[in-house]
Amino acid sequence: MTKYIDQGKNDTRSGFGAGMTELGRTNPNVVALCADLIGSLKIQTFIDENPERFFQIGIAEANMMGIAAGLTIGGKIPFTGTFANFSTGRVYDQIRQSIAYSDKNVKICASHAGITLGEDGATHQILEDIGLMKMLPGMVVINPCDYNQTKAATIAIADYEGPVYLRFGRPKVANFTPPDQKFEIGKAVMLNEGTDVTIVATGHLVWESLLAAEALETQGISAEVINIHTIKPLDAEAVLKSVKKTGCIVTAEEHNYLGGLGESIAGMLAKQHPTPQEFIATNDTFGESGTPAQLMEKYGLNNKAIQKAVLRVLDRK
């Protein structure tokens, strides 16, 4: 199987920060907004280098979304920054009316997504944000898998005209995608070709899927691993091509199975190519306090859980 090397654990939010630093130097229209979480979003370098293009909004996320919408009128490309919970559920109607329905070129950048936010617990973790955002007409939803890809995605979305939800996380995780990659919105990345089962993962679960595929290989199971960094628009073609070969699929995400990547894929497959599917996702539940690793274990969101799901789905072929 294709070998991937962890270039050194890093957090995806730092990838976002690095992407913002580059955008600050290359795109004069990019502006950043933050609701009192500069350190968490890793955007201090952007602020130091472009103080006039940074707007500290204070703890007022609704106002931040409206201001971002307004800044587009005049040609700015606003990137908003706060935790995923406060980037979505807290401000759903502001995003819906002032950004999505108004088709404003706002990039909603959401850190600390999912359960790996860890010890702060369920008030700050969100496992519903992909669903909330993908339901909005015209909203692009992206969940990159590591530092390098988050940096590339951050840079890429500045060149896309329209609202984008960019989701990333808090913990340091394996950094294994190429540093110089070109990020193509809506284009799945084939990580490992296989013949027995398709594993389609997004975000932090991509690395876990590669680990699972490695372990499965030793059991004689050939797993195809696809990184779907863009949940909407979904690269249906890549998924269809794969399941037509393997005949079954496991989807993996750090999100509720209701509203997530797996649901999008299930809906697409139901219409185009019904396929046995297992879901690695949380099961309609809130999170809780704990270390990221403990939580991923408890809620069945790691490489071991993926291996078990593969065995289940193979039985259903």
Q: Which residues are catalytic?
A: 61
> How many residues form the binding site for another protein (CB under 8 A)?
32
Nearest approach, Cβ of residue 106 and another protein (Å)? 10
Q: Is residue 50 within the footprint of another protein (CB under 8 A)?
A: no
Outline where 82-222 has alpha helix (H): 84-87, 92-94, 129-134, 147-158, 205-218
Q: Which of residues 196-255 bind another protein (CB under 8 A)?
A: none
CA 307 → CA 10, 190, 205, distances in Å?
25, 19, 12
Decide the pairing of beta strands 223-227 and 10-11.
unpaired
Measured between alpha carbons, how far is 285 from 187 in angstroms, rounded to an integer? 30
Q: Is residue 304 within the footprint of another protein (CB under 8 A)?
A: no
SS3 percent helix, strand, coil of the chain, rounded to 5, is 45, 20, 35
Q: Is residue 62 within the footprint of another protein (CB under 8 A)?
A: yes
**Which residue among 10, 14, 94, 149 contacts another protein (CB under 8 A)?**
94
Nearest approach, Cβ of residue 29 and another protein (Å)? 9
Strands (DSSP E) contained in 186-310 are: 189-192, 197-201, 223-227, 230-232, 249-256, 277-282
DSSP state of 126: B
Q: Is residue 163 within the footprint of another protein (CB under 8 A)?
A: no
Q: Is residue 78 within the footprint of another protein (CB under 8 A)?
A: yes
Q: Is residue 161 within the footprint of another protein (CB under 8 A)?
A: no
Nearest approach, Cβ of residue 67 and another protein (Å)? 4
- Residues near another protein (CB under 8 A): 31, 52-53, 55, 57-58, 60, 62-76, 78, 93-94, 96-98, 101-104
